[in-house]
Amino acid sequence: MNRVILVGRLTKDPELRYTPSGVAVATFTLAVNRTFTNQSGEREADFINVVVWRKQAENVANFLKKGSQAGVDGRLQSRSYEGQDGKRVYVTEVVAESVQFLEPKGGSGNGDGNNGGSQGNNRGNGNNRNAQEGNRNNNSANQSGNQEYTRVDEDPFANNSNETIDISDDDLPF
């Protein structure tokens, strides 16, 4: 099984290129914090190269930038090529199947972890009109719902009529 899931911040803007056949490919480096601190109490990070293809590559190039937080789901791949000096160069990278944008558009993180509250506020302000309309719709639905279900003590499954329900054995699922 070869599965990699990462959450981190981009160290620089993604590089978008196209193959000779016209397929989009984007590369970027993701800084992923380690879960522990070193002896001086500082948190270290791993810098992981990521490759993403096709439409997702174009989306990454258009919407992510240096400092953006992203989630990557993909597989680990090793490859090698001959460098300019004639030596064999080995590369290990994550080939992303999915890249999730973990911040709102225009929200740029600087990696200090202290801007989460402002990002949440930006999210709400960016869709203020939609949020107000949604609240109006929810309020009207709640009002009509409250009028419809004012009697809580009434059993909705009780058969208040004297009619019998005719169900054949063929209609039963068991």
Rg of the chain over all Cα atoms, to the nearest angstrom? 27
Q: Between 15 and 158, where is the model more confident? A: 15
Q: Is the pTM of this model over 0.75?
A: no
pLDDT of residue 120: 35
Sign of CA dihedral 84, 28, 109, 6: negative
What domains does the chain contain, in order, with CATH numbers?
A: 4-106 (2.40.50.140)
pLDDT tens-digit series, residues 117-162 = 333 333 333 344 344 444 444 444 444 444 444 444 555 555 555 6
Output the pLDDT for position 25: 95
